[in-house]
Structure 1
Amino acid sequence: MQNVSGGGDVPVVNPSTVAAGAARPAHLGDFHLRPRVLLITALAVPVGCAAAVAAFALLRLIGLITNAVFYQRLGTGLVAPGAAHHPWWLVLCAPVAGGLVIGVMARFGSEKIRGHGMPEAIEAILTGGSRVAPRVAVLKPVSAAVSIGTGGPFGAEGPIIMTGGAVGSILAQSLKLSADERKTLLVAGSAGGMAATFNAPLASILLAVELLLFEWRPRSLIPVATAVAVSTVCRSFLLGTGPIFGVPPSSGAPGPLADGLALVPGLTGGLLAIAATALVYLAEDAFALLPVHWMWWPALGGLIIGVGGLAEPRALGVGYDVIGQLLTGHATAALIIGILVVKTLIWSLSLGSGTSGGVLAPVFMIGAALGAAEGGLLPHVAPGFWAMCGLAAVVGGVMRSPLTGIVFTCELTGAWNDLLPLAVASVSAYALSVLLLKRSVLTEKIARRKLHLTREYTTDPLETFFAHEVMSHDVTVLRTAETIATVLPRTGYATLYPVTDDTGRLVGVTSRRALLTRAGRTVQDTITPVRVLAHPDDTLREVANKLAAGHVTGAPVVARGEPGRVLGVITLPQLLHARRRDLYEEGHRERLLTTRANGRGA
């Protein structure tokens, strides 16, 4: 392995040009350069505004199509397809017609409009350099509006995640930005659209962190939070303020009994999440076996929706009115059971057809129906209390986002006094989902596209050690004037040797291989310019970044105030010390406290 040189146009480091006593660069792995963070934050402001406008336009377009299809009138207000009686043929055929339109749009417009938005946004981040085609910004919300407006049991949040993300991505693509900066603006648009749709700013930020950013760092969190704040303010002018499913205020916390019993909707919500996820991908596999082009699948999914609509018309559409009834305790037993069974089936099976629509609103409705159904068997706490627990549980289980499930429920209802039982329900459902299901409804789709995604965030072990703790202190330092014949016996298998001049100042590096190929000469003839310098107070993460940027696998360690004075050498194998320590702490088990009876002090 070559340690002293690398490919690419990487500038070399001249130790003599490093200012003595130079301050240690601010390690902001996040803030690398503060002006860049300020720039991306400034760009997040118009992205947040645009995301709010996009959310408003999408909701109005859904209302327009719903009114036109089911009520034969012009209007943009959100209405439920099943709120009035409709001819059976309309309930059955409207979703099929909507599916046909979506199939044509996907076939001849962009296949990216298929699906519920979040996996597509994740894929754009993971493999596409956070680039989203401009036509997706138009076709995705239109296709979702057609799907939901013709009775599709989906939510508006998935499409707005993709549309808001497209807005941020398009702005980023028009400027000279890095892939990470494009990702930040894409997620800022997605989170801004979520906040404007549900008036849930904190949950939208958490959703961005848990599902889209794959990090919790200031460089991305600050711009995303800025876009969410701006979008929420814009929403207040466009759609109003206050929780969209506000429940009557409670006089106090539910109490220990309710806190403990929240495990019931939590565990059952986890099981329901597992079943719904399995149904989605069972349906997807079944559609893939059909001897017809995928363009026709959404229409077949629409047929499933239509049949379900005949059984329970209130399961059609985005269903905000039904969610409101469930969360305020006004839903009838027939509606609760109908939603729990029919909504779960038609949502899971039709989503597998590749149609366009989001998952959050259906998950809200299914979870709230589960909790409401169990509320008849559990002690009464407050109207809609158990429905809220079921909602938080199913979100935590389906999305594998327990914090988002907790905060979303609180922001949607304003029931902050119920925070503890909601946490019990959401986290227990999340735990069950993790234990029994390999991947979530989001990550399974990513895995099926041959991509790997991890959502387990942990401290980088490279951040816990400094270079001086692992570097080689006793290194062989060669002089430029020495002959190769005299220094070869002092060299071994090490592949990096610092070279100094007669004054002891670092002037370059060499390797045993270079020495062997120039026998009979001096060390001066074998030196290579220093590409990377490390300092003893660099974290191993900083050292790893320097080695990667310099395309080398080792570097001299020099005093920060005296860049010509060699203190040691650090190489890639030494960076593994941090990983070995991390593995030791994870796997090594020992008893530290023992009884005196065993002959040891307590």
Structure 2
Amino acid sequence: MRRPTLSLRSDQFEYVQLILLAVTVGVLAALGNLGFRKLIEFFSWLFRGLEWNALGIDLGGIHLALIPVILLSGGVAILLLDRFFPGDVLGYGFPNFLEMVNLGTARLKRRWIFVKAAGAAISLGAGASVGREGPIAQVGGAIGSTIAQLRKLSPDRAKVLVAAGAGAGIATTFNAPIGGLMFAQEIVLLGHTEIANLTLLIIATFTAVITSRAIQGNAVVFLAPQFVLRSYWEMATYALMGAALGALAAGYIRFFNATEAWFRKLDLPVWVKLEAGLALVGVIAIWLPQNLSDGYPVINSAMAGEFGIGMLAAMACAKIFASSVSLGCGAPGGSFGPTFFIGTMAGGLFQRLSAMFIPHLTGPRGSYALVGLGAFLAGTTHAPLTALFLLWEMTHSDTIALPSMIATITALVVARALETESIDEFRLAREGKTLQIGSERLALTLIPVSAVVTKNVTIVSENTSLSEVLRTAGETSQSTLPVVNSDGELAGTIVVRDLLSVLSGGQELGPLVNAFDICNARCSTVSLDANLDEANQLMEHDGLDEIPVVDRITQRFLGLVTGRQIAQALNRVTVSLSTLATRDPNVYWATGYRVSRITVPAGAAGRTVRQLDARARFSVTVLAVQDAGNPQSEFTPITPDHPLRAGDQLIAAGRAQDIRHFTQELESAGTAGAPHAPAQAGGSGKT
């Protein structure tokens, strides 16, 4: 009888590692958030403390006209930071972050940990009307991506750690672990999360909040008032408010993105657009200084019921305009802060108006301002669970559950009916990109071009004569002829059907015409580390069956990727997944049997299937093997005397517990000594 063992299988050990990595991400994200807060405090002191007082703005009166100078000086600091880190500082970067996570390989730049925090801190410190939540999510995501890269995790695992870092950053910002969890699951991962991955998100967000509370106590950002529900008839009033805020959210999404598009189209230097936009925000602040920065203290005042109808309406409109201009002109920051501000002011405004017409169906001011915050957040981000759990964790009141659900869902329905895209997906959708991709495209994003590239292809040099090009085109089965220069760099491509159309069109092509003259020098290309979804999208856009692969740095031609190869790769993935996850409808397995993939550990290297005698000892049949020395090779049937190598992938069939015992035998093979002899010669006939 085999003794029970406490050793972990390779998949269990991998999951334990992921748990430890999630804990690490949570701790580092919490520390990153604390550092980000300190940066905001420093630049707030520098611009709206030291410089503010030096200019005499604190004296009021005519000195208020100097407020734009504060924002202009902040713009100079942002431009200096952009000079050192070009491409990583300016603008509203959260949509690009979502694109890299959901459509890319989730490999974020490590310098984002500092750059995103510094850029947003300067914006907020100088008074730009932006939020801090998007940048801290990107900082946390960069921390998760860095750890994933150091551990050389696969793209799907890296994506989970990026989302965990982003959720941990949001969780520590609002002292709301469940709200951060929902942010990671609903906004970053778009709701596509397996249970095992959800566990990692929970671990990261709760670890981050525990770390933050251990350092700075149980501090909160918003001083939420006690929620009061006077009558259940108020549900109708909250539904009306949700509908109104949903319509406002749809309008804000369109105005926000229209403003950003207008700034992009301006034929002006980047520094001019940035400084002009910040100066305009400063002019608004002369009359409404509450509009500066993210306005968290003003939100607390609104929840306490300190503002009247006119002031609430003015601040909501000013924030809609100023936040759109701030982020549109290139100031780094996020949209969550302005969303909170607008939702709170709009909720408070609705309460004042409702109290005038239906006083018996209207509760206190703070309650409507609080629910308005969540409803407007759901309408702009299309993330109702994030909004609901943030409200609940801010109040810890069960009474708020039903009104907030009614207002939030109503706002979401109205907002989606008027504008199908969220504030973060709007621009991507206008560029022809969608984050809501199907399972097939998701599978293609995980396969690199290097896995299917064909390197032995027919090429022509750029000085090849036209007659030689025609002869080569007639002899090859390729639809595309890559044209390369003397250094092996891709000069362009010749599409065979286009070549034939040129010839049939009667154009004069003299004897001096060569391949370079007729090739397309602006052809689309992909690199080896691109994924097959990118290649497939480019091929569909250009109407091609093949696309060249080049080195990202040297632009040397490396090979071709064809549509047929992409289809075959997708078919292999689909068949492999269906084989491992379901049973073939033509093969009827007995109850409890399954097919599993097993990685050969180092201790089992050199053994053969005959020596392991899996069928006799464990009732497990080893079906196929993939050579560890060639990860791109396919699975092949395994022979009894085939020596195993560390890292080989085995496909084995049997009952779940038998496969588990067989895996444990492989794990302990390095210390178990010589293999046991089969009990009976005829035992190998078991299935």
Flag whether TM exceeds 0.5 (same fold). Answer: yes
Matched, 1:306 2:282: yes
Matched, 1:167 2:113: no
Secondary structure of the structure 2 residue equivalent to 1:352? helix
Give 1:243 deviation, angstroms.
4.0
Give 1:455 deviation, angstroms.
8.2
- Change in Cα spacing, 1:153 to 1:260, as seen in structure 2 (3 Å) is same
Query: Are 1:207 and 1:404, in contact at CA under 8 Å, matched by a contact in 2?
Result: yes
For 1:12, the equivalent position in structure 2 comes to: none
**Aligned runs of 1:575-590 on 2, under 5 Å?**
none
- Change in Cα spacing, 1:353 to 1:208, as seen in structure 2 (3 Å) is same
Alignment-mate amino acid for residue 237 of structure 1: A
Aligned mates of 1:534, 1:428 — CA distance in 2? 51
Matched, 1:360 2:324: no
Aligned mates of 1:383, 1:438 — CA distance in 2? 31
Matched, 1:411 2:411: no
Q: Name which of 188, 196, 200 aligns with 2:164.
A: 188
For 2:376, the equivalent position in structure 1 comes to: 394
Give 1:97 deviation, angstroms.
2.6
Give 1:34 deviation, angstroms.
3.1
Matched, 1:49 2:27: yes
- Change in Cα spacing, 1:50 to 1:564, as seen in structure 2 (3 Å) is same
Give 1:123 deviation, angstroms.
2.3
Aligned mates of 1:83, 1:257 — CA distance in 2? 47
Matched, 1:109 2:224: no
**Aligned runs of 1:65-80 on 2, under 5 Å?**
65-72=43-50
Q: TM-score, normalised by structure 2?
A: 0.60
For 1:155, the equivalent position in structure 2 comes to: 131
* % same residue: 26
For 2:17, the equivalent position in structure 1 comes to: 39
Query: Are 1:253 and 1:417, in contact at CA under 8 Å, matched by a contact in 2?
Result: yes
For 1:88, the equivalent position in structure 2 comes to: 64
Q: Which deviates the most, 201-210 or 125-134?
A: 125-134
Matched, 1:440 2:432: no
Alignment-mate amino acid for residue 394 of structure 1: F
In structure 1, the gaps of 5 or more residues are: 1-30, 76-80, 474-504, 509-527, 539-560, 566-602
Secondary structure of the structure 1 residue equivalent to 2:106? coil
Q: Name which of 402, 405, 410 aligns with 1:423.
A: 405
Aligned mates of 2:684, 2:188 — CA distance in 1? 43
Alignment-mate amino acid for residue 26 of structure 2: G
**Aligned runs of 1:511-522 on 2, under 5 Å?**
none
CA deviations over 1:227-246 (Å, ceiling 9, x no partner):
11111112223443154323
- Change in Cα spacing, 1:218 to 1:304, as seen in structure 2 (3 Å) is same
Aligned mates of 1:563, 1:228 — CA distance in 2? 52
Give 1:314 deviation, angstroms.
0.3
For 2:680, the equivalent position in structure 1 comes to: none
For 2:586, the equivalent position in structure 1 comes to: 471
Aligned mates of 2:622, 2:257 — CA distance in 1? 61
Aligned mates of 2:131, 2:94 — CA distance in 1? 12
- Change in Cα spacing, 1:534 to 1:35, as seen in structure 2 (3 Å) is closer
Secondary structure of the structure 2 residue equivalent to 1:376? helix
Give 1:342 deviation, angstroms.
0.5
Query: Are 2:71 and 2:278, in contact at CA under 8 Å, matched by a contact in 1?
Result: yes
Query: Are 2:124 and 2:294, in contact at CA under 8 Å, matched by a contact in 1?
Result: yes
Aligned mates of 1:314, 1:418 — CA distance in 2? 28
Q: Name which of 418, 430, 433 aligns with 1:451.
A: 433
Query: Are 1:48 and 1:231, in contact at CA under 8 Å, matched by a contact in 2?
Result: yes
Alignment-mate amino acid for residue 245 of structure 1: F
For 1:381, the equivalent position in structure 2 comes to: 363
Alignment-mate amino acid for residue 216 of structure 1: T
For 1:143, the equivalent position in structure 2 comes to: 119
- Change in Cα spacing, 1:335 to 1:35, as seen in structure 2 (3 Å) is farther
**Aligned runs of 1:2-401 on 2, under 5 Å?**
33-72=11-50, 85=60, 87-214=63-190, 215-241=192-218, 243-250=220-227, 253-378=229-354, 379=359, 380-401=362-383
Query: Are 1:82 and 1:316, in contact at CA under 8 Å, matched by a contact in 2?
Result: no
Aligned mates of 1:209, 1:82 — CA distance in 2? 44
Aligned mates of 1:304, 1:224 — CA distance in 2? 41
Give the paired residue count. 459
Alignment-mate amino acid for residue 170 of structure 1: T
CA deviations over 1:164-213 (Å, ceiling 9, x no partner):
11112112211221112222221221111111111111111001110112
In structure 2, the gaps of 5 or more residues are: 1-8, 444-573, 589-620, 625-635, 639-648, 657-682
- Change in Cα spacing, 1:134 to 1:313, as seen in structure 2 (3 Å) is same
Secondary structure of the structure 2 residue equivalent to 1:155? coil
Give 1:532 deviation, angstroms.
10
CA deviations over 1:453-477 (Å, ceiling 9, x no partner):
11899xx9999x995684388xxxx
Query: Are 1:100 and 1:298, in contact at CA under 8 Å, matched by a contact in 2?
Result: no
Secondary structure of the structure 2 residue equivalent to 1:152? coil
Secondary structure of the structure 2 residue equivalent to 1:381? coil
CA deviations over 1:340-391 (Å, ceiling 9, x no partner):
1111111122222232111112111100100100101224423411112211
Aligned mates of 1:108, 1:248 — CA distance in 2? 44
Query: Are 1:82 and 1:315, in contact at CA under 8 Å, matched by a contact in 2?
Result: no
Q: Structure 1: which 4+ aligned runs deviate by more than 6 Å? A: 81-84, 460-463, 505-508, 530-538, 561-565
For 1:547, the equivalent position in structure 2 comes to: none
Aligned mates of 1:90, 1:130 — CA distance in 2? 43
Query: Are 2:51 and 2:70, in contact at CA under 8 Å, matched by a contact in 1?
Result: no
- Change in Cα spacing, 1:222 to 1:296, as seen in structure 2 (3 Å) is farther
Query: Are 1:265 and 1:374, in contact at CA under 8 Å, matched by a contact in 2?
Result: yes
For 2:679, the equivalent position in structure 1 comes to: none
Q: Which has the higher contact order (CA 8 A, sep 6+)?
A: 1
Query: Are 2:137 and 2:165, in contact at CA under 8 Å, matched by a contact in 1?
Result: yes
Aligned mates of 1:101, 1:446 — CA distance in 2? 29
Aligned mates of 1:404, 1:290 — CA distance in 2? 36
Aligned mates of 2:151, 2:159 — CA distance in 1? 13
Give 1:105 deviation, angstroms.
2.6
For 1:571, the equivalent position in structure 2 comes to: none
Give 1:84 deviation, angstroms.
8.1
CA deviations over 1:93-148 (Å, ceiling 9, x no partner):
22233233323433541413333443232122134421121221111111101111
Aligned mates of 1:169, 1:466 — CA distance in 2? 29
Q: CA RMSD in A?
A: 3.7
Secondary structure of the structure 1 residue equivalent to 2:82? helix
For 2:4, the equivalent position in structure 1 comes to: none
- Change in Cα spacing, 1:66 to 1:442, as seen in structure 2 (3 Å) is same
Secondary structure of the structure 1 residue equivalent to 2:400? helix
Aligned mates of 1:359, 1:309 — CA distance in 2? 19
Query: Are 2:376 and 2:411, in contact at CA under 8 Å, matched by a contact in 1?
Result: yes
For 2:530, the equivalent position in structure 1 comes to: none
Q: Which deviates the most, 274-283 or 346-355?
A: 346-355
Query: Are 1:148 and 1:155, in contact at CA under 8 Å, matched by a contact in 2?
Result: yes
Aligned mates of 1:254, 1:129 — CA distance in 2? 51
